[in-house]
Amino acid sequence: MNLSATRGALAAVALSLSALAATAQENPECIAPANPGGGWDFTCRQVGKSLQDQGLIDQTMQVVNLAGGGGGVAFAEVVNKRNDADNLIVAASSATATRLAQGAYPGNTMDQVRWVASVGADYGVIAVAADSDVNTLPELLDQIKSDPGSVSVAGGSAVGGWDHLKVLIAADAYGIEDVRKVKYIAFDGGGEAVTQLLAGSVQAFTGDISEAKGFVDSGDIKVIAVLAPERLGGEFAEFPTAKEQGVEAIGANWRGFYAPGGMSDDAYNAWVSKIGDLYASDEWKQVMAANGLAPLDLQGAEFQSFVADSVARIQSISKEIGIIK
Amino acid sequence: METLANLGDGFAIAITWQNLLLALLGCFLGTIMGALPGLGPSNGVAILIPLAFTLGLGATPSLILLTSVYYGAMYGGRISSILLGIPGDEPAMMTVLDGHPMAKKGMAGEALSLSGVASFVGAFFATWGLILLAPQLVKIALLFGPAEYFALFALAFMTLGGVSSTNQAKSAFAAALGLGLATIGVDTQTGVPRFTFGEVHLYDGLDFLVAIVGLFALSEVFIFLETRHGGAEADGKKMVIGKLYPPMSMLKACTPTMLRTSFLGFIAGVLPGAGASLGSFISYSMEKRLVDKKGTFGTGDPRGVAAPEAGNNAAAGGALVPMLALGVPGSGTTAVLLAVLLALNITPGPLLFTQNPDVVWGLIAALFIANFMLLAMNIPMVGLFTRVLMIPSRILMPIVAMVSFVGIYGISGSTFDLLVMIGFGVMGWLLRKFDVPLVPIILGTLLGNAMENNLRRAVTIDNGNWWTLVDSPLALTLWAIAIIGFVLPLIVGARVKAGMHARRDDEGAISD
């Protein structure tokens, strides 16, 4: 108790001094629960910029980076301190759902906030170097099945994180009994993982299509499977899905927003409709195309139940592979 | 020739009144942000992104503004390092070692202007490196797998001995303490939280900016509070600033150092897993091994100021190589710049140079312009900066305390980080009493995680075979340098020690 009183006092002092942290209530604000430069930061900044460009908001959306605990710090902050802020949305993704499902935000659950809308999905890919002997997903999974030690799979998330789960989902769907034998190497972000694939340190890469796109264009890597229900549109249409290769695995890293649980219905509906309008615009379609985001058009109640579903599904996979009990 | 033509086009894009003004604004703001403890280059850039978007700037002007801030902050970090002994950001940490002693010896002006020149040299060569070699340099980055990165970090720590302290054991203790602190947080290789005590704020580990501000700035404030009654004496002493321009002889003596460390720093910057901090660190410790025959490094040797400054500015330029050519950020700041590029619908990566040549060459031209502007701005401003030393401690210290708190809270918005900062402040105060150097603690915290992760990645990839660490010619070379760097001083140690004793006698005579 004493500790939190000290914290409160410090906060008051720091707030009164800090011009940086001052926000007026009517100013739209987006919390990116990570340091600048990551996917959540991108979601906030890109959506903020596009909303302003299209006149859906009058002022510049203020982006606050509240890093820590893989988004847990921001989640706790919103639940505990910003519960009735009407001007606030928070960037979220499958990683948020994964951590909520695995109980990695101590004491927090998905019901404590209101889920606003999605702005697209980044489907998972499994890729190998361009000069690899492996050409299809079943070939790779056969190698893993017969000699798990011979294939290192690199990804940008920690063990148990979304990049790891994607490859486990595929392995599970292919009938690999003990998916815990799959050798996963965690790197600091998808970019570093792809670089190590190019360097030949690892044999396969699991990540999002947007992380892989630049290297596919340059001919350095080949995508052997997209974890999408059907082939994607545009220039991504050439990538085979896992499904058409007989592996029933789907892994979409959706991007979207949640808002404080105590947000008024008026404000919530306004946010839902603004982001819905943005999603429907041509400009956003271009942004999605340029960044390899596939359509995922869910708002309000629909989005809420979508997130609930994905949390439940991740929970059951995580139990199966022994990440949670 | 084609490169030069491209560069010409870049200058044509960059030289407009609007772009020049943006570069000037960026350089100025960047220098200030770099100088303020707590506000480093990555936060500086992040803070200005909304400004770029609000002004509705296109891709090239936005990048010009933001990279000027980036280069500006790399220049600015040295100012508080030299004048106050408090690093403005993490790459400026090594500058404290010799910069602050120089200021204490009454050579603050020389230290500042020399470091300005060194920064310019580092950044200048790095920009040329970026122009001429960017596509080829990517191949260097691809030579480094986890095992090679581990060898590189090991090299950094093995050459650490004696950095910042005459007592090797205390240096080693400080580094070990830093490495220990680095293990706090979720372990990415297993997904298990370590030493977090259920506190979600600790899941991502300790933020080293918080650690730096606490250890250096707050502990300084605590020391002042403790000695404030006796402090009047120090205030009364006349501060000597020294010359505002470095003498030619000093520049001449430092030129080989600057050239060598520009190269080293640039290479460290090009490696996405290393970055500017490692660049300045390796530059300093290698240079110390190479030229410090009399043991004057750490006591205000001008070469000890030039080395890390040239190194970290070269690394800043080098870090743009993997960002532009691979889309992989080599440092926190390039991660932010990468996000900006993505927000502007430009995809960095192997094809950027052919798909968006206007952006790339406009950016490179802007780097040149910013670099010259910074030199032109920084040298005359040395006189202004040195006035900080005239401010009596009783006024300066409360300002330092205030800036520390506001800076850290402003970035993280978390009161928890303030408590951690105070914790580090108390630790720094205690360690100063025991004469334990603080720099190795930060190095341990900063590099420990990457070092551990790369070790475990390497061993896991090779199914638990530890020989993988010495499995490539590059790894073997790095280990050889590391071992020579570690063993050689032990062999020639006696001579160095004798030199140090002689120097101490000299110094004693002067201060008397």
> At B507, is the pLDDT very low, low, confident or very high (cuts 50, 70, 90)?
very low
A135 with A232, same domain?
A: yes
Given a cut of 50, whether residue B374 has pLDDT beyond it is yes
> Is B33 in the A-facing interface, judged by CB distances under 8 Å?
no
Stretch 332-391 of chain B: residues touching chain A, C-beta under 8 Å: 332, 335-336, 338-339, 342-343, 345, 347-352
Residues of A in contact with B345 (CB under 8 A): 286-287, 290-291
Which of A64, A198, A202 comes nearest B142 by C-beta?
Answer: A198
Residues of A in contact with B186 (CB under 8 A): 70, 158
Q: Which domain, by its residues, includes A41?
A: 28-121+253-320
Overall pTM surpassing 0.90 (yes/no): no
Stretch 98-117 of chain A: residues touching chain B, C-beta under 8 Å: 104-106
A116 with A134, same domain?
A: no
A108 with A43, same domain?
A: yes
- Residue that finishes a domain, picked among A251, A278, A305: A251
pLDDT tens, residue by residue, B468-505: 888 888 899 889 888 887 776 666 655 555 555 554 44
From B59's Cα to the closest Cα of chain A, the distance in A is: 13
Asked if B88 and B44 touch (Cβ cutoff 8 Å), the reply is no
pLDDT tens, residue by residue, A202-222: 999 998 887 787 788 888 899
Which of A3, A158, A201 comes nearest B191 by C-beta?
Answer: A158
ipTM, interface predicted TM-score of the complex: 0.77
Do B463 and A149 count as a contact with CB atoms less than 8 A apart? yes
> Is A132 in the B-facing interface, judged by CB distances under 8 Å?
no
For residue B68, give the nearest of B120, B27, B98 by alpha carbon.
Answer: B27
Do A220 and B336 count as a contact with CB atoms less than 8 A apart? no
Searching chain B, which residue's CA lies closest to the CA of residue A29?
A: B50
Do A69 and B146 count as a contact with CB atoms less than 8 A apart? no
Task: List the CATH number of the domain containing A53.
Answer: 3.40.190.150
Searching chain B, which residue's CA lies closest to the CA of residue A52?
A: B54
Searching chain A, which residue's CA lies closest to the CA of residue B458?
A: A201
pLDDT at site B121: 93
pLDDT at site B157: 81
Q: What is the pLDDT along chain A (325 residues), one digit of tens a residue?
A: 344 444 444 444 444 333 333 333 378 999 988 877 667 888 888 898 889 888 888 888 888 888 777 888 899 889 988 998 899 999 999 989 998 998 888 888 999 999 999 999 988 999 999 999 999 999 999 999 999 989 999 998 888 888 999 998 899 889 888 888 889 999 887 888 888 898 889 999 998 887 787 788 888 899 999 998 888 877 788 899 999 999 988 888 899 999 999 999 999 999 999 999 999 999 898 888 877 788 888 999 999 999 999 899 888 888 877 777 7
Stretch 15-44 of chain A: residues touching chain B, C-beta under 8 Å: 15, 17-18, 20-21, 35-38, 41-42
A198 with A267, same domain?
A: no
A298 with A208, same domain?
A: no
A155 with A300, same domain?
A: no
How many domains would you assign to chain A?
2
Work out how many CB contacts closer than 8 A connect A with B. Answer: 200
Q: Which residue pairs, CB below 8 angstroms and at least 24 apart, start in B127-131? A: B127/B317, B127/B364, B127/B367, B127/B368, B127/B371, B129/B266, B129/B314, B129/B317, B129/B318, B129/B321, B130/B317, B130/B318, B130/B320, B130/B321, B130/B364, B130/B367, B131/B3, B131/B7, B131/B364
Which of B43, B188, B203 comes nearest A69 by C-beta?
Answer: B203
Q: How many CB atoms lie within 10 A of CB B54?
A: 12
Do B203 and A70 count as a contact with CB atoms less than 8 A apart? yes
What string of DSSP letters covers B405-464? HHHHHHHH--HHHHHHHHHHHHHHHHHHHTT--SHHHHHHHHHHHHHHHHHHHHHHHTTT
- Residue that finishes a domain, picked among A251, A282, A312: A251
Identify the burial level of A126 via C-beta atoms within 10 angstroms of its C-beta, where 0-12 means exposed, 13-18 middle and 19 or more buried. Answer: buried
Residues of B in contact with A199 (CB under 8 A): 141-145
A300 with A285, same domain?
A: yes
The residues with which A122 forms a beta bridge, in sequence order, are A253
pLDDT tens, residue by residue, B5-47: 888 888 888 888 888 899 899 998 888 888 887 677 777 787 7
Identify the burial level of B232 via C-beta atoms within 10 angstroms of its C-beta, where 0-12 means exposed, 13-18 middle and 19 or more buried. Answer: exposed
Which sequence spans correspond to the domains of chain B? 2-511
From A154's Cα to the closest Cα of chain B, the distance in A is: 10
How far apart are alpha carbons A231 and A237 in whole angstroms? 6
> Is A284 in the B-facing interface, judged by CB distances under 8 Å?
no
Do A217 and B349 count as a contact with CB atoms less than 8 A apart? yes
A155 with A230, same domain?
A: yes
Task: List the CATH number of the domain containing A232.
Answer: 3.40.190.10
Stretch 145-174 of chain A: residues touching chain B, C-beta under 8 Å: 149, 152, 158-161
A130 with A237, same domain?
A: yes
How far apart are alpha carbons A122 and A294 in whole angstroms? 6
Angle between helices B108-143 and B248-270 (to 10 degrees): 30
A136 with A223, same domain?
A: yes
A114 with A131, same domain?
A: no
Do B327 and A291 count as a contact with CB atoms less than 8 A apart? no
A216 with A298, same domain?
A: no
